[in-house]
Amino acid sequence: MKISKIHFKLKHLLIIISILVLPVSFLAIFIVNFQLYSASLWMLHVGEYRTPEQKAWQKEIEADYQNRKLDARKNVILFSFDGIVWEHFLEWTLNDEYREKIKNKEIYSAEYEIPSFESVMGYRNILGGYWNKNWYNIFNLIENSKDGGLRTSALLSWHHFITTVLNYKTTISDLLNYTLGENLAARYINDNLADAKTFLDIQYQDFKDQLNSHEYNFSFFYDFLADNAGHLGMTYDSEYVQEVYKYYYFLFDYLFSSYGDDPNTLLLLVTDHGRAVNGKNHNMWDRTAFRSFMVANHNLAEIISRPVVNFVDVKEIVYKFLEV
């Protein structure tokens, strides 16, 4: 009888403990991961992250973009180094001359926040934004505006852009099968630094060829080697990451040396997301991974009056610069 009573008391004690412990555990998990949940709610807000000003601009464009006239004399070169952070870009990519120009505001720069587009909430592509609304796509906006006759090109090696963003008339550099049908990802995307530099050399030359053809009004370049290094578990201390950052200098310098003073060309460097402090992650577990930045040869505040908050604003900057 006593054993039965003990079992009975233990059973009730376990129930009481469960009632007390489980809510406390859930509360502790929520507190520890508050940034994750708040960020998820942020991105889930009406299923998007657009501001009222962005919604107003997109509504205006949706109704009228085929009547908007663009200037065929103007060019925009948008290039993105995926997942790099501002501090190390300044330290490792730029030389003293460029750092001084940014410090003195001779070269425009700005930092802002954007929810990581690679998240548990799904993808939000750098230039597409929404898979089922093609008119949001900056390539399509440019190509289909009234009397534009403007042409767009893109150089990238990430298939998601081709399948979800790039379509219609955009000229796409065939980096996925660059040499005799060999898949670049299988050949160059790994932890070997020599392969990474070879891959960047291929991309740089291809992009220069596109720009030197003078056929395109909007050219887009995207590289993800530094970002991929984080996915491979490399931190900022690794030689691979630091050397890839340094190698980005050659494209940056080429573009700003060639086009930096051209009033009809907008150079715009962007990142789609930042990285957490350890260099590995850019998900919603760490709000620092939302930090992004941009660098330009024009004062973007003269093109768009409000502070940039994400890539909807980047698309508006590109489009407004090209408008007559």
Q: Give the CATH number, domain containing residue 258.
A: 3.40.720.10
Report the range out of 21-30, 156-165, 218-227, 276-285 with the highest average pLDDT: 218-227
Tokens of 114: 């954007």
Query: 204-263: per-residue pLDDT in tens?
Result: 998 999 999 999 999 999 888 998 898 888 989 999 999 999 999 999 999 999 999 999
Distances (CA, A) of 99 to 105, 196, 230, 294: 10, 25, 25, 14
- pLDDT attached to residue 227: 86
pTM over 0.75: yes
| Residue 153 forms part of a structural domain | yes
Using alpha carbons only, how large is the chain's radius of gyration in Å?
Answer: 24
Domain that holds residue 317: 59-322
225 within a domain of the structure (yes/no): yes
Please report the pLDDT score of residue 146 as a whole number: 82
Let me know if residue 313 belongs to a domain. Answer: yes
Tens-digit pLDDT profile for residues 1-57: 555 655 556 666 667 766 766 676 666 655 555 554 555 554 444 345 567 888 888
pLDDT: which is higher, 122 or 141: 141
Give the CB-side neighbour count of residue 69, counting CA atoms within 13 A. Answer: 4
40 falls within a domain: no
Dihedral class, residue 85 (left if φ above 0, else alpha if ψ from -120 to 50, else beta): beta
* Coil, strand or helix at 205: helix
What is the share, in percent, of the chain residues with pLDDT greater than 70? 66
Reduced to 3 states (helix: H, G, I; strand: E, B; else coil), residue 75 is strand
User: Can you give the pLDDT at residue 243?
Assistant: 97
d(C-alpha 297, C-alpha 263), whole Å: 9
Per the DSSP assignment, residues forming a β-bridge with 172 are 154
36 within a domain of the structure (yes/no) = no
The two tokens of residue 130 are 């929404």
The CA distance from 65 to 130, in Å, is 17
Domain membership of residue 87 (yes or no) is: yes
Whether 14 is covered by a domain: the verdict is no
- What's residue 164's pLDDT? 54
Instruction: Tell me the mean pLDDT in the region 70-91.
Output: 92
Average pLDDT value for the chain: 78
Total domain count, the chain: 1
- Binning pLDDT at 50, 70 and 90, where does residue 180 land? very low
In-domain check, residue 34? no
